[in-house]
Amino acid sequence: MRDVLYLAWRYLVYHRLKTVILVTSITLIVYLPVGLNVVVEQSGEHLTARAEATPLLVGAKGSPLELALNSLYFSPDYPELIDYSEATAVIDSGLATAIPLYVRFRSRSQPIVGTSLDYFEFHELAFASGRPMAVLGECVVGAAVAEALGVEVGDAVTSSPETVFDLAGVYPLRMRIAGVLEKAFTPDDDAIFVDVKTAWIIQGLGHGHQDLARPEAAASVLDRSEDNIVANAALLQYNEITADNADSFHFHGDLAGYPLTAVIAVPNDEKSGVILRGRYTHDETMSQIVRPVTVIDELLDTILTIQQFIVAAVVIVGLATIATAALVFMLSLRLRRREIDTMLKIGGSRPRVASILVAEIAIVIILSCVLATLITLLTWRFGPGVIESVVLS
Amino acid sequence: MRFSTHQIALIALLASLVACGAEERAIDTAGDEESLPTVYAVNYPLAYFAERIAGNTVEVVFPAPEDVDPAMWVPDVDTVARFQRADLVLLNGAGYAAWIQRVTLSQSRLVDTSAAFADRLIPIENDATHSHGPAGDHSHEGKAFTTWLDPELAIEHARAVFGVLLRLHPENEGEYRERLAVLERDLRDLDRELKDVSARIGDRRLLFSHPVYQYFERRYSLNGQSLHWEPGEMPDEVLWRELSGILSAHPANWMVWEGMPHPEAVSRLEGLGIRSVVFQPAGNRTESGDYMSVMQENLRALQQAFPTSAR
Amino acid sequence: MIDIQGLQFSYGEGDFSLQVPELAVANGETVAIVGPSGSGKTTLLNLIAGNAVPRSGLVRTHGEDVSGMHDAARRDFRIANIGLVFQEFELLEYLNVLDNILLPYRINRTLALDADVRRRAAEIAQQVGIGDKLPRYANHLSQGEKQRVAVVRALVVEPPLLLADEPTGNLDPVNRERVLDILFEYVENNAATLITVTHDHDILQRFQRVIDFKQFYA
């Protein structure tokens, strides 16, 4: 056997280009359906686990998928906005805990998730260092964010403007990092968490500025009457909330009308969940309530269908590849007729000469399978992250 | 020894199961060694009501220092973190403790104890507004917040506190109900006596050192005007001139102080025919006594100041 | 060494047929076979080696009736007892010189490849002047070097019989002599028998006997 393998190996090494092409082709044919299955299954597991962990989502009427993707995976596309009163309504119903979400802004590529303290408890997120945000302007970063930006408790991150040209819109807010989360192996690792009120400040719905009643702010006063002071554009607005200026931060109007992208509703029990869902079935309601696991299941069904088409295509291509490889081998045998005759003429046994040819094929197939296995393992390790970022981008 | 979050959750979950049907998850995420639920309050009256009702079944915490006005107090970050770990946070409502709007607390643990009478809150008039940008005018104040000075509203606060304490310890309903009843009785007794003394005050014109007596005024139909005088400080001439202007339309004979007044201010007021009486708002703890004893002290001060009806 | 009686051979199609009524070659004899192209000289070597089977008659090689053996038995016999040298060298391009020399040991389990064999191969290669070429691929050698590799491959099993079909046909005169020297030295040192098919009449005087194949050609 050793001699058979040796001669087969020498042949393959000498004709390395042909060997590489064959191994690559067969590796791809073996890997594609397997790797695709691994990716789809793992991604499905990740997506489903995340969806199953979130019982209900309240959001504006529209695409449930967009609502789920933005709320669970912090996709850049956010749904129509709802009012904060939707969260209050859930609380007041007594049927569920409400966790507000405002996932609209970003700090470079990382999503800024405006939410409440209940979010950490709900997702059982532990702190590697520091603590939850306590005051406006503080944030908590996921483990991957801390690693990618090289930041820790005490450092700061800054929100990114929504557009370059909207000077009166969202402006950068510098946020101090109060805590860094432990790795959770969920999208929470890649997010920056702030109080939902801090997110409103990023949007400009709340702000801090000089006290217009004080003499130092005189240059910022446009008009002053007995009971009202109008400021001009020179009014200094703060882009970081510090201990010195925190008291000046305020919100205008009723917070009930302030925007959210979704509300996570955690029903007290199954019955409460059913009753709560029933309240959103009327046509006149402006919002909807979805079960993320249902939405994700539908998404996965679609992905599965696409996967099946791809696998069918791969099988057809695979058969063609195998046929081509067989043709290459048969042509190669014809070309090697003289070499085989020589071995037989000098006394080589027929079985052994045949074994050498079979061993060549076997080595190629085994190498291909080993490579396909290695690539599948890599796919198992890194694939879901790649796929999720593609799906969510 | 610090407990992990999951260990604490397990302990809390088991405790609530033993309590037979508690549906709220009482989880202390910070690893406090105490097994008693913690209830934080933003002012002393709420803390007092919680202590009266719950007794030693919960740990009631009111962390503001004794020498500050809790309405103006802003906790530091460490104290905010302690609020975050509390099982319940009792809010006064009516915009009291504006710092609540600037911190992050778990919404499920916040309790607005004035929600039941939100329609009876007194708006603050003649408050300066400012405007900038397209939103138009807005002011930074809204409602008067010393609601506990009206014993009827204090009872409403106490009932709200009772309701949320039941969430922590539903098995103690009987005991809590009894204590609430005693507290309500005490507050009604106080109310009755304050009504008696306010009848003696009648329509006498009063001055208040600060606009913190709105609910007291309304409850007892008092005729008062508020200043912005600090007890313990001698007002400057601007304030005295302002007082003169007020007296021309509201010739008052009594100044109700929220704390011990400056002796010079007292004597100068007496020179104007205005006598002084101290009525502490009891927003914070005092060196001695409690909310009820302070209110009793206030009552006695009024009884002494107004031994008979007007004319 | 070789005893042929009443040999008749023909291929399946075509008119070619070979008839050898009688032919004997003694042990240690060096024989050259000459004759016109297509007369069956190579076919005779194949029959002696057991690479072909006669329609009738007896072919006894080194005491064994190769014409009566099964295919596998003939191969086992051939690889251990007969060294074959071909005009076109017939080396495997994807093996180096040493692996080409040791090829017989890898393609039939009758022969066992061990350290003694490797040493013998290296020694013979050294003796014939290709000792430093062992790591090279065969197609990187000159014609003369290639034929020397083929000869060493035939000699490494220490066969009692050497069959060479036009071994010098593609060589220049210098290399022709060199290859013949190697073959004849081996025959002399090992009392081996050498049967060579050749068209080259210049080398005939080196052989003890010359057989003109015209006598067998019909």
Considering only CB atoms, A345 lies closest to which of C51, C92, C93, namely C51
Q: Are B46 and B92 in contact (CB under 8 A)?
A: yes
List the beta bridge partners of residue C212.
C34
Which residues, in sequence order, are CB contacts of A288 under 8 Å at separation 6+? A58, A59, A60, A61, A62, A64, A67, A280
Write down the pLDDT at residue B79. 94
Q: How confident is the model at residue C8 (pLDDT cuts 50, 70, 90)?
A: confident
Residue among A124, A74, A127, A106 at smallest CA distance from A175: A106
Suggest the residue from B8, B24, B132 to mutate for an interface test with chain A (most A CBs closer than 10 A): B132
Q: Are C198 and C18 in contact (CB under 8 A)?
A: no
Query: Chain B closest CA to A103's CA: distance in Å?
Result: 17
Q: What is the ipTM of this complex?
A: 0.89
Residues of chain A in contact with residue B74, where contact means CB-CB under 8 angstroms, are: 246-247
Percentage of chain B with pLDDT > 70?
83
Cross-chain residue pair C75–A348, CB shorter than 8 Å: yes
Is B292 a domain residue? no
Q: What residues in chain B have their Cβ under 8 A from chain A's Cβ atoms?
A: 4-6, 23, 25, 27, 29, 74, 77, 80-81, 84, 101-108, 126, 128-132, 135, 137-138, 140
Which residues, in sequence order, are CB contacts of C152 under 8 Å at separation 6+? C101, C121, C124, C125, C128, C130
Residues of chain A in contact with residue C90, where contact means CB-CB under 8 angstroms, are: 338, 342, 345-346
Do residues B44 and B171 both lie within one domain? yes
Considering only CB atoms, B107 lies closest to which of A118, A120, A209, namely A118
Is B285 a domain residue? no
**Structure token digits, residue A275:** 């009753």
Side chain identity at B210, as an amino acid letter? Answer: H
**Structure token digits, residue B157:** 């606060």
Q: What residues in chain A have their Cβ under 8 A from chain B's Cβ atoms?
A: 87, 91, 97-100, 116-118, 120-121, 124, 126, 131-136, 138, 195, 197, 209, 212-213, 227-232, 235, 246-247, 249-253, 268-269
Q: What is the SS3 string spanning A28-50?
A: HHHHHHHHHHHHHHHHHHHHHHH
Helix-helix angle B173-201:B151-168, to 10 degrees: 170
DSSP three-state, residue A4: helix
Predicted confidence (pLDDT) at residue B184 exceeds the cutoff of 90: yes
Predicted confidence (pLDDT) at residue B173 exceeds the cutoff of 70: yes
Cross-chain residue pair A135–B102, CB shorter than 8 Å: yes
Residues of chain A in contact with residue C146, where contact means CB-CB under 8 angstroms, are: none
The set of chains that have 3 or more CB pairs under 8 A with B is A
Do residues B57 and B101 both lie within one domain? yes
Alpha-helix residue ranges (DSSP H) falling in chain C = 41-49, 71-81, 97-101, 103-107, 115-127, 143-155, 173-190
**Structure token digits, residue A61:** 């009427």
Q: Residue ranges of the domains in chain A?
A: 2-47+299-392, 56-208+249-290
How many distinct helices (H) and strands (E) make up chain A?
11, 16
Residue among A231, A232, A123, A273 at smallest CA distance from A184: A123
B53-57 — which CB contacts under 8 Å span 24+ positions?
B53/B158, B53/B161, B53/B162, B53/B165, B53/B176, B53/B179, B53/B180, B53/B183, B54/B165, B54/B169, B54/B172, B54/B176, B54/B179, B55/B175, B55/B179, B57/B169, B57/B172, B57/B175
**Structure token digits, residue A46:** 């990740």
Quickly list DSSP for A246-301: GGG-EE-S-GGGSEESEEEEEESSHHHHHHHHHTT-STT-SEEEE-HHHHHHHHHH
Residues of chain B in contact with residue A227, where contact means CB-CB under 8 angstroms, are: 126, 128-129
Q: How confident is the model at residue B168 (pLDDT cuts 50, 70, 90)?
A: confident
Residues of chain B in contact with residue A209, where contact means CB-CB under 8 angstroms, are: 132
Predicted confidence (pLDDT) at residue B133 exceeds the cutoff of 50: no
Predicted confidence (pLDDT) at residue B134 exceeds the cutoff of 50: no
Do residues B116 and B155 both lie within one domain? yes
Residues of chain A in contact with residue B80, where contact means CB-CB under 8 angstroms, are: 134-135
Predicted confidence (pLDDT) at residue A265 exceeds the cutoff of 50: yes
Cross-chain residue pair A15–C94, CB shorter than 8 Å: yes
Cross-chain residue pair A352–C93, CB shorter than 8 Å: no
Do residues B42 and B24 both lie within one domain? no
**For residues A32-49, average pLDDT:** 84
Predicted confidence (pLDDT) at residue A66 exceeds the cutoff of 90: yes
Report yes or no on chains C and A touching (3+ CB pairs under 8 A).
Answer: yes
Out of A308-322, A339-353, B39-53, B128-142, give the one with best mean pLDDT: B39-53
Q: What residues in chain C have their Cβ under 8 A from chain A's Cβ atoms?
A: 49, 51, 71-72, 75-80, 82, 84, 86, 90, 92-95, 99, 103-110, 113, 137, 153-154
Q: Are B147 and B170 in contact (CB under 8 A)?
A: no
Write down the pLDDT at residue B295. 95
Ranking A231-235, B231-235, C205-209 by mean pLDDT, the lowest is: A231-235
DSSP three-state, residue C9: strand
- The number of domains in chain B is 3
Q: How do residues A278-295 score in pLDDT, each as one tens digit?
A: 988 877 778 999 999 999
Quickly list DSSP for A114-166: EE-THHHHHTTPPEEEE----BTTEEEE-HHHHHHHT--TT-EEEPPPS-SS-
Dihedral of alpha carbons A343, A346, A350, A351, sign: negative
Searching chain A, which residue's CA lies closest to the CA of residue C164? Answer: A346
Residues of chain C in contact with residue A350, where contact means CB-CB under 8 angstroms, are: 71-72, 75
Q: How far apart are alpha carbons B253 and B274 in whole angstroms?
A: 4
Predicted confidence (pLDDT) at residue C66 exceeds the cutoff of 90: no
Q: Are B289 and B303 in contact (CB under 8 A)?
A: no
**Structure token digits, residue B306:** 């107004």
Q: How far apart are alpha carbons C217 and C125 in whole angstroms?
A: 38
Do residues B93 and B42 both lie within one domain? yes
Do residues B46 and B175 both lie within one domain? yes
Query: Chain A closest CA to C69's CA: distance in Å?
Result: 14
Q: How far apart are alpha carbons C183 and C162 in whole angstroms?
A: 8
List the beta bridge partners of residue A103.
A113
Query: Chain A closest CA to B255's CA: distance in Å?
Result: 27
Measure Cα distances from A280 to A199, A257, A274, A287, B265 in Å: 27, 19, 10, 7, 63
**For residues B193-220, average pLDDT:** 94
Ranking A300-304, B40-44, B127-131 by mean pLDDT, the lowest is: B127-131
Residue among A175, A255, A250 at smallest CA distance from A208: A250
Suggest the residue from A340, A346, A356, A363 to mutate for an interface test with chain C (most C CBs closer than 10 A): A346
Q: How far apart are alpha carbons A341 and B8 in whole angstroms?
A: 80
Suggest the residue from A175, A194, A230 to mutate for an interface test with chain B (most B CBs closer than 10 A): A230
Query: Chain A closest CA to B106's CA: distance in Å?
Result: 5
**Structure token digits, residue B120:** 């009876």
Write down the pLDDT at residue C6. 87
CATH number assigned to the domain comprising residue B113: 3.40.50.1980
CATH number assigned to the domain comprising residue C72: 3.40.50.300
Write phi, then psi, for A57 (nearest 5 degrees).
-125, 130
Write down the pLDDT at residue B9. 53
Do residues B52 and B177 both lie within one domain? yes
Residues of chain A in contact with residue B101, where contact means CB-CB under 8 angstroms, are: 197, 250-251
Q: How far apart are alpha carbons B3 and A126 in whole angstroms?
A: 12
Residue among B79, B86, B78 at smallest CA distance from B106: B86
Cross-chain residue pair A352–C113, CB shorter than 8 Å: no
Q: Are B252 and B243 in contact (CB under 8 A)?
A: no
Segments forming the whole domain that contains residue C129? 2-215
**For residues A54-83, average pLDDT:** 93
Query: Chain A closest CA to C94's CA: distance in Å?
Result: 5
Q: How do residues B18-41 score in pLDDT, each as one tens digit?
A: 544 444 444 444 444 558 899 999
Do residues B170 and B214 both lie within one domain? no
Cross-chain residue pair A136–B131, CB shorter than 8 Å: no
Query: Chain B closest CA to A393's CA: distance in Å?
Result: 30
Query: Chain B closest CA to A287's CA: distance in Å?
Result: 21
Searching chain B, which residue's CA lies closest to the CA of residue A116? Answer: B106
What's the mean pLDDT when you consider all of chain A?
87
Residues of chain A in contact with residue B138, where contact means CB-CB under 8 angstroms, are: 252-253
Segments forming the whole domain that contains residue B115? 36-124+140-186
Q: How do residues B98-131 score in pLDDT, each as one tens digit?
A: 898 889 998 888 999 999 999 999 998 654 444 4
Is B57 a domain residue? yes
- The DSSP secondary-structure symbol of A183 reads P
Write phi, then psi, for A139 (nearest 5 degrees).
-145, 165
Cross-chain residue pair C93–A14, CB shorter than 8 Å: yes
Dihedral of alpha carbons B253, B259, B264, B265, sign: negative
Do residues B84 and B146 both lie within one domain? yes
Q: How far apart are alpha carbons B163 and A264 in whole angstroms?
A: 25
Which residues, in sequence order, are CB contacts of C175 under 8 Å at separation 6+? C143, C144, C147, C168
Do residues B14 and B44 both lie within one domain? no
Is B173 a domain residue? yes
Predicted confidence (pLDDT) at residue B135 exceeds the cutoff of 50: no
> In B277-302, which positions are buried (b, 16+ CB within 10 angstroms) versus exposed (e)?
bbbbbbbbbeeeebbbebbbbbbebb
Residues of chain C in contact with residue A352, where contact means CB-CB under 8 angstroms, are: 107-109
Cross-chain residue pair C113–A3, CB shorter than 8 Å: yes
Do residues B48 and B147 both lie within one domain? yes
Residues of chain A in contact with residue C71, where contact means CB-CB under 8 angstroms, are: 350
Query: Chain C closest CA to A330's CA: distance in Å?
Result: 19
* A11 vs C: CB within 8 A: yes
Query: Chain A closest CA to C14's CA: distance in Å?
Result: 22
Q: How far apart are alpha carbons C94 and C97 in whole angstroms?
A: 10
Do residues B93 and B170 both lie within one domain? yes
Residue among B125, B118, B182, B192 at smallest CA distance from B153: B118
Q: Are strands B88-91 and B110-112 parallel, antiparallel or unpaired?
A: parallel
State the maximum Cα–Cα separation within chain C, in Å, rounded to a whole number: 49
Ranking B25-34, B91-100, B246-255 by mean pLDDT, the lowest is: B25-34
Q: How confident is the model at residue A225 (pLDDT cuts 50, 70, 90)?
A: low
Q: What is the SS3 string spanning chain B?
A: CCCCHHHHHHHHHHHHHHCCCCCCCCCCCCCCCCCCCEEEECCHHHHHHHHHHHHHHCEEECCCCCCCCCCCCCCCHHHHHHHHHCCEEEECCCCCCHHHHHECCCHHHEEECCHHHHHHCCECCCCCEEECHHHCEECCCCECCCHHHCHHHHHHHHHHHHHHHHHHCHHHHHHHHHHHHHHHHHHHHHHHHHHHHHHHHCCCEEEECCCCCHHHHHHHCCEEEECCCCCCCCCCHHHHHHHHHHHHHCCCCEEEECCCCCHHHHHHHHHCCCEEEECCCCCCCCCCCCHHHHHHHHHHHHHHHCCCCCC
Residues of chain A in contact with residue C108, where contact means CB-CB under 8 angstroms, are: 347-349, 352
